[in-house]
Structure 1
Amino acid sequence: KLDTFVASLDALSPQAMSSGIQIIMSLCYGLFAFSTIIGMIAFIEVCSTEISKAKSFSVFTKIISSVIFVPFGVVCVWTGMQLDNIWVISDLVNLMMVIINIPLILIGGKYVKKALNHYESNYHKIQSDEGYGFDKSVGEIMKEE
């Protein structure tokens, strides 16, 4: 599919600027992939910190994601695996996340509402790097029953 992407760049750009546009678009594509990986690792860190406060658990989840999932994608590309197959795997994993998240959203909705109410009652406070309107962590708010 990458050849289709490059061919579409050739068709949509003036011939004199074709190679320059290909370089710029390839850099943009690479930066998008890199920033996506960084964002996902940051998301993993936030989630693992909420699951367990132990630093070792957070490090373990980052290592697992970096050592298993990123090389899996690289190997799929190197072996010439069709990108359609990777998208099918991605869709399957996303479906599993939806199946897990729907009951969690239904169960945790009351905590989200409680945190939102707490935020709205404190948003007028001076915003700082520490709080952003929260004077307590979401975990502390959830424990206040």
Structure 2
Amino acid sequence: MVTRTSHAEASCAVARPLDAIGDGWSLLIIRDAFDGLRRFGQFQKSLGLAKNILSARLRSLVAHGILETVPASDGSAYQDYQLTEKGRGLFPVLVALRQWGEEYFFLPEEVRARLVDRERNQPVARLEVHATDGRALTPEDTVIAMLPGTR
């Protein structure tokens, strides 16, 4: 089996999160958690994933603080998985990935699942990257710079 390289010490903010969410199954679990799935069986049914692989991915997402386990909402002996604040922070990432997928992986006439505003039932506006002064930015307008950490 191939050992994955850890990016835990990387200075790149794209590389570091890959240890937590770089696996396609992990992103699909997170997608399903945003869609309201909470139980192991619900994730398994949605994804058709082998129990051992699903269990490993859920354990990793919990260990990385993206999901947390909580007592089952129905009072049973089971546990639910729910997104943490860190996990909910992935919402724009999933929206961007979804919008990129809609644009480049479907024919225009193909039916697809679309993310819509619950209140208005309208598609979510396309995500854009903006400068602090509000200008829309393209890749050519940006550069990577080493700066001190801030939130």
Shorter chain as normaliser: what TM range? under 0.3
Under a length normalisation based on structure 2, what TM-score does the superposition of the two structures give? 0.26
Pick 1 or 2: higher relative contact order, CA cutoff 8 A, min separation 6: 2
Higher strand share: 2
Q: TM-score, normalised by structure 1?
A: 0.27
